C-alpha cells in the first residue's frame, strides 16, 4: 500500500468541515479576521509561485500574497533552500547569529537613512518599538498619526483606524476614535489625528500639541486611507515642522517598502528619523524592524550607562527569518523592482480599459507594485473620500466573491492587488478579463448606489 502524500491527505476534509472544528477551539474560527469570509474561510493546502490550492482542491491566482508580505510569491526555491539549510542548524538560540548581522548590513547599505537597525517579529511590533523609541528619545508622551491609517494592533497605533461619519468629527480637528472596546481614555488623549495630505489643517493641529509630541507617524502610501501617495509638499511641510519643534519624523513602511528599491522614502528629499518595516523583509516569515539615525537608535543600546528603551524578544532576529529575509531582499534587486513595478503599471492600464469598456464609475489608486480599486468615479485623495458606505462594502464583497469563486483570482478584501515577482503578463490578462466580467456583473448596483 502506497503512503499518502501530504497533498492527498490535505483533501481528507472540506473547508466547511475544518471550520466547524475551528469554531470549537478558536474565537470565530480564525486567528486573524482578514481570512474570515461567509459562510466559512477557505483553508490552504499548498502553494507555489503565484498559485494557491485550498483543501477543497481549488487553485487560484494570488494577488493578495499574504497581505503584501510575499514579494516573491509562495515557496520560492532559493528561499526554501536557504531556510532548510539553516533549519538543520537550529531555529533559534540564546545567542546572537551572523545571519542577523549580514541582513542588517544589507538593509543599511540599501537605504541611505538606515544607520542602525533593530529586528522584531512583526509590523505591529516594529511600529510599537518605533513609538516607544520616539518617546524615550524625546521624553514626550503624544504621537500624531493620519486619520484612517493602519499601523498594526498596538493600542496607540490603531486609534482612528476605522473612524466613520458618525464619530470622526470636524475635519479641522478629527476625533481620536478607539478601535477596540475598552481602549483607555488616556490612550486616546495621547494620539493626535490629522487629515492626510492636508498641509494647512495638519500643521494647525500639530501646533496645538507641539510641546507634547514625541513623533509624527507617516505611512507614505496608506492603504486604509485609500492607497494614495503622500505629496512631496505635504512630506516636506511636516518634516520641516518636526525639525522646528524637536519632534521625530517617522515612517511606517511595513507595506510600502516594496514600492521602490529603498522604500517609498526613496521618492522624497527627506530622511525619516526612524522607519518601521515588516512583511517583505521576512521572506515569508514573521518579521519586523526599525531603522534610523544612530543618535535616535542609541536609546536601544545596551552599552549605554542608562538604557532609555530596554528591548528584547525571544524570536527577534531568529536565524530562520534573517536568512529568508536576506535572500528575499537580495533577489529583490533594482532590476526586479523595476520589472514588478512596470508589470503593475501594465495591469493598471488594462484594468482602466476594462473600466471604460464596462462603463462603470470605478477608479484606481496605488504605487509601486500595488493598486486599489474604488467604486467611485473620481479617485479618492483622503480617508473621508475613500470611506465606503455599507452599500459600497456589499458591492465590493460581491465583486471579490465573483473573482474568488468564478474567476479563481484572490485579491485583498479592500479590493486591492498586491503583486509578486513571479506574476507574468498572462496572469495580468486573466485579472483584467476577470475584472471586466465582474464590473459588468455589479454595474446595475453601482448605478443605483451613486
List the catalytic residues: 150, 252, 279
User: Strands (DSSP E) along 87-179, which ranges?
Assistant: 116-120, 142-146
* Measured torsion, CA atoms of residues 317, 318, 323, 329, in degrees rounded to the nearest 10: -30
Contact in structure between 78 and 70 (CB atoms under 8 Å): no
Alpha carbons 73 and 49: distance in angstroms, whole number = 5
Cβ neighbour number for residue 9 with a 10 Å cutoff: 12
Alpha carbons 1 and 19: distance in angstroms, whole number = 31
Handedness of CA 393, 394, 398, 401 (dihedral sign): positive
Contact in structure between 59 and 413 (CB atoms under 8 Å): no
Minimal CA–CA distance to 276: which of 252, 295, 257, 292?
Answer: 252
Alpha carbons 199 and 238: distance in angstroms, whole number = 8
Minimal CA–CA distance to 398: which of 448, 441, 365?
Answer: 441
Contact in structure between 427 and 62 (CB atoms under 8 Å): no
Alpha carbons 200 and 29: distance in angstroms, whole number = 45
Amino acid at each position: 500500500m502506497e503512503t499518502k502524500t501530504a497533498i492527498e491527505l490535505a483533501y481528507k476534509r472540506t473547508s466547511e468541515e475544518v471550520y466547524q472544528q475551528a469554531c470549537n477551539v478558536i474565537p470565530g474560527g480564525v486567528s486573524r479576521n482578514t481570512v474570515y469570509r461567509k459562510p466559512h474561510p477557505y483553508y490552504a493546502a499548498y502553494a507555489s509561485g503565484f498559485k494557491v490550492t485550498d483543501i477543497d482542491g481549488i487553485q487560484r491566482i494570488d494577488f493578495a500574497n499574504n497581505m503584501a508580505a510575499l514579494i516573491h510569491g509562495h515557496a520560492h526555491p532559493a528561499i526554501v533552500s536557504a531556510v532548510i539549510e539553516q533549519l538543520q542548524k537550529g531555529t533559534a538560540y540564546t545567542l546572537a547569529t551572523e545571519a542577523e548581522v549580514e541582513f542588517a548590513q544589507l538593509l543599511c547599505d540599501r537605504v541611505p537613512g538606515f544607520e542602525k537597525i533593530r529586528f522584531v517579529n512583526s509590523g505591529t511590533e516594529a511600529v510599537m518599538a518605533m513609538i516607544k523609541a520616539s518617546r524615550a528619545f524625546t521624553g514626550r508622551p503624544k504621537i500624531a498619526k493620519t486619520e484612517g491609517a493602519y499601523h498594526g494592533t498596538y493600542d496607540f497605533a490603531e486609534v482612528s483606524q476605522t473612524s466613520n461619519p458618525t464619530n470622526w468629527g470636524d475635519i479641522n480637528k478629527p476625533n481620536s476614535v478607539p478601535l477596540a472596546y475598552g481602549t483607555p481614555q488616556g490612550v486616546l488623549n495621547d494620539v493626535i489625528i490629522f487629515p492626510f495630505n492636508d498641509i494647512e489643517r495638519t500643521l494647525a493641529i500639530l501646533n496645538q500639541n507641539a510641546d507634547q509630541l514625541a513623533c509624527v507617524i507617516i505611512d507614505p502610501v496608506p492603504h486604509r486611507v485609500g492607497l494614495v501617495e503622500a505629496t512631496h509638499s505635504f512630506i516636506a511641510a511636516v518634516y520641516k515642522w518636526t525639525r522646528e519643534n524637536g519632534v521625530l519624523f517617522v515612517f511606517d513602511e511595513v507595506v510600502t517598502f516594496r514600492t521602490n528599491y529603498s522604500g517609498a522614502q526613496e521618492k522624497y528629499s527627506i530622511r525619516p528619523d526612524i522607519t518601521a518595516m515588516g512583511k517583505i523583509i521576512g521572506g515569508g516569515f514573521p518579521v519586523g524592524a526599525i531603522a534610523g539615525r544612530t543618535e535616535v537608535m542609541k536609546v536601544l543600546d545596551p552599552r549605554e550607562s542608562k538604557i532609555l528603551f530596554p528591548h528584547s524578544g525571544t524570536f527577534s532576529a531568529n536565524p530562520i527569518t534573517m536568512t529568508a529575509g536576506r535572500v528575499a531582499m537580495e533577489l529583490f534587486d533594482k532590476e526586479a523592482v523595476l520589472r514588478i513595478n512596470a508589470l503593475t503599471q501594465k495591469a493598471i492600464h488594462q484594468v482602466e480599459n476594462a473600466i471604460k469598456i464596462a462603463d462603470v464609475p470605478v477608479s484606481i489608486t496605488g504605487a509601486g507594485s500595488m493598486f486599489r480599486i474604488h467604486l467611485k468615479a473620481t479617485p479618492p485623495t483622503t480617508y473621508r473620500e475613500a470611506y465606503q458606505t455599507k452599500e459600497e462594502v456589499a458591492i465590493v464583497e460581491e465583486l471579490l466573491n465573483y473573482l474568488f469563486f468564478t474567476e479563481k483570482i484572490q485579491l485583498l478584501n479592500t479590493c486591492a492587488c498586491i503583486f509578486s515577482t513571479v506574476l507574468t503578463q498572462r496572469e495580468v490578462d486573466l485579472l483584467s478579463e476577470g475584472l471586466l466580467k465582474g464590473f459588468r456583473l455589479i454595474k446595475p448596483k453601482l448605478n443605483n448606489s451613486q
